[in-house]
Amino acid sequence: MSAADARVSDVAYSTYDGPRAGRIAAVWSLARWSSLRALGARRGWKAKLIPITLILLGFAPALVVLGLRALFGPSALGSGGLQAALPYSDYMGAIGVVILVFSVVVTPELVCPDRRDRTLSLYFSTAISRGDYVVGKVLAALMPILLVTLAPPLILYAGNMLFAIHPLAYVERHWVDIFRIIGSGLLIGFFYALVGLAISSLTSRRAFAVGGYLAFLAIPTIVGGVLAHALNENYLRLLAFAAVPIQAARGLYPGYTDRGHLSASLWAATAVEIMVVAIIVLAVRYGRDTG
């Protein structure tokens, strides 16, 4: 039979009768697969190289300290031991650049392709609403970022406990640090996730999103530092947006000090204000027909 003689003899439509997991499962699926894609899943090795390298760099300080302890004992780290060699309060500051670069790599990849390929309308035609989409993308950004803001200090804590002379006694003395580590990791993770997504939502070009993100964090930091020094006004140091979440997280630990004599509550309030603005930007960008 030739193609000219072909005809459709019957068309059958059937309803879907498989399992229905609901909107929560849909949001989780969006978040999970988006985060995996941002980390390079189902893509070439070049897409995986940078995220994996940055994650390893995030773990490097903890692994170095614990490795020295395993090889040479407490004497390798001085009289203060592990806790003094790398305090939990200073860990985020030690890898601050890694966290920043990692968030710059991850967040634009979560939303820019959807705008570039005009797939947002496809998402919104399913069970995913605009609010669900934003929540899913925030979770998708948060989960990878926690690999460098939460996992490394938790590994350090576990190592400190295992290498302690009396592990249970160590936990009894430092059990509160577990909650401080979790709180600081979540605070920094949410900050960079929300800010990165808000800036990335303004464009469909990944390069523009990366440039805008870096400009938002770098330019106010430089201007604020120069003006604070010239005018002798320490409050201008709050313009150092890249340092805001890290300083706010350090305030969760006892003995917090700041060379500019700014309280931890000021840093925390600034971080909250920036995150609120980021949420408003996301609400405006995805609260209307984005195409």
Q: Is residue 252 part of a domain?
A: yes
Tell me the CA distances in angstroms from 95 to 143, 148, 267, one per residue in order: 18, 8, 19
Q: Is residue 160 part of a domain?
A: yes
DSSP 158-179: HHHHHHSSSHHHHHHHHHHHHH
**43-48 mean pLDDT:** 78
Look at the chain and report how many structural domains it folds into: 1
pLDDT of residue 89: 87
Q: What is the CA radius of gyration of the chain?
A: 23
Q: Which of 246, 221, 240 is nearest to 90 (CA)?
A: 246
Residue 244 has pLDDT above 80, yes or no: yes
Q: Is residue 12 part of a domain?
A: no
Give the separation between CA 264 and CA 89, rounded to whole angstroms: 13
Residue 254 has pLDDT above 60, yes or no: yes
Q: Is residue 273 part of a domain?
A: yes
**100-125 mean pLDDT:** 87
Q: Is residue 238 part of a domain?
A: yes
Of residues 228 and 191, which shows the higher confidence score?
Answer: 191
Let me know: does 144 contact 109? Beta carbons within 8 Å: no
Query: Could you list the residue range(s) of the whole structural domain that residue 41 is in?
Result: 21-286
Q: Is residue 255 part of a domain?
A: yes
Residue 75 has pLDDT above 70, yes or no: no
Residue type, 204: S
Q: Is residue 8 part of a domain?
A: no
pLDDT of residue 206: 87
Class of residue 205 by CB neighbours under 10 A (exposed 0-12, middle 13-18, buried 19+): middle
pLDDT of residue 165: 80
Residue 15 has pLDDT above 60, yes or no: yes
Q: Is residue 1 part of a domain?
A: no
Mind listing the pLDDT tens digit for each residue in 144-199?
Answer: 999 999 999 999 999 888 888 888 988 898 899 999 999 999 999 999 999 999 99
Predicted model pTM:
0.86
Which H or E element spans position 273?
helix 264-286
- pLDDT tier at 79 (50, 70, 90 boundaries)? very low
